[in-house]
Structures are given as C-alpha cells and as structure tokens.
A and B are shown apart, each in its own frame.
Chain A
Amino acid sequence: MKKVTLTNPVAIARLKKFLADKAFIRKKIREGKASEIKSEVTYR
C-alpha cells in the first residue's frame, strides 16, 4: 500500500471536512433520513 504524508494544513483540513461530510451522510442514511442530505455536503 502506498503511503503519503500530508503536510499542507489546508489540504489536511479539507480532507478532514471531506471525511466529516461522509460521516454525516453515513449517519443520515443509517437513520433513514437520506432526504435530509442537503447541499452543504455536496460540492457542486
């Protein structure tokens, strides 16, 4: 497995937001509330 250490704090923050958004989507789907997934977790 290739491993790359991210050092750019902006990149790290954005990757963490990407993961946080995924966790939010995961939670909403598992709660049966997928319809509550709004544009704040979509990028386009």
Chain B
Amino acid sequence: MNPYNVDPLTLTPGFESTKFITSAGQEFVVYLRDISAFGKRIFDFAFEPVGAELDGDFPVDVRMGDTIAVILDEAFCNGKDIIVYAPHENDPRRIRKFNIWYAKHQHKMKCGKLERDSVTFIIDTNTEVTLCFLFKPDCASIIQHVIATGDFERMWEEKA
C-alpha cells in the first residue's frame, strides 16, 4: 500500500478525526463517531473533502483507498469492533466504490479477518438508507440480528 501521510488523530469525546492531503492538493477529513451499542465499540465512519461544494463530488485515486485502509486497519487494531458507513444520500456509486475498495484492500489489512455486510432500511416511500458494515467476526450475530429484524433502534435507543 502507498498511503498519504495522515495527521495524528484529533480526539473529541465520541469523535475522532484525522486529515490527509492528496497529490492533487485536496485535503480530506476522515472521522469516526462513537455510536457504540450492544456492548461493542461501533463507529460511524466517513471522509469528506475540505472546501468542496456541498453537493460536489470529488476525484479519487488509488492512494486514497490505501489511506482509508490504513486508518480503518488501525481503528480495528485499536479495539473498534464495527465500522458503519452510510453513503451520503444513499448514493449507489459510493456504495459500489465501498464494495470495490473492500475487495481490493481486505487482504492488506493487518488487524485480522473482517467481514462485510449491508442493509437498506426503508423509512418511507421516498426515503431509503443503506448502511454498510465492516466488522470483526465475533460481531456477526449482532449484524445479522440488525439486518434480519430491523432492530437497529437499539443502537439509537441507547443514545436517547
């Protein structure tokens, strides 16, 4: 892997973030937001370009994928159990990119075996939300429970 240099993590309670700059000069912020539940360390993950238009897309390169792999690998090595990725506005291109990224990088990560799954929650006739899960094998039953039953509310209920 050939990742970009990553800044040290900035820690706010429940919110970890870091930054990197691509060879094209675009700065990205990567964050992990603590939504732990079910007795597991669960984190909401995303990365966003700094200074980009709100609805604008951004170019990606191979090193970005490597950089994200390094950041998530470290997160799992440091005890996180489940990473949740919810693409903005359920964008199918981002879901596809996530799946391709995982296929390319899963064998390069040092944290041990990971599994992947996803579910689309239908909220109403106009709103669907797809959540992609990357998780340690011992969390498979929790993910299967969430997907099979839609009992994701427990995850939110504990934050009330």
Contact = CB atoms under 8 A, between A and B. Distances in A.
A28 B37 CA distance: 26
Contacts of B123: 6, 12, 15-16
Contacts, number: 119
Nearest to A13: B156
Nearest to A34: B29
Contacts of A4: 119-122, 147, 149-150
B94 to A, nearest CB: 12
A6 to B, nearest CB: 5
B112 to A, nearest CB: 25
Contact of B34 (A3, A7, A44): A44
Q: In which size bucket is the chain A interface?
A: 35 or more
Nearest to A26: B48
Interface in B96-155: 118-124, 128-130, 147, 149-150, 152-153
A40 to B, nearest CB: 10
B29 A3 contact: no
Given A26-B54, A39-B13, A43-B14, 17 more contacts: A1-B119, A2-B119, A2-B120, A2-B147, A4-B119, A4-B122, A15-B121, A21-B33, A22-B88, A25-B31, A25-B48, A29-B31, A29-B49, A30-B51, A30-B52, A42-B13, A42-B15
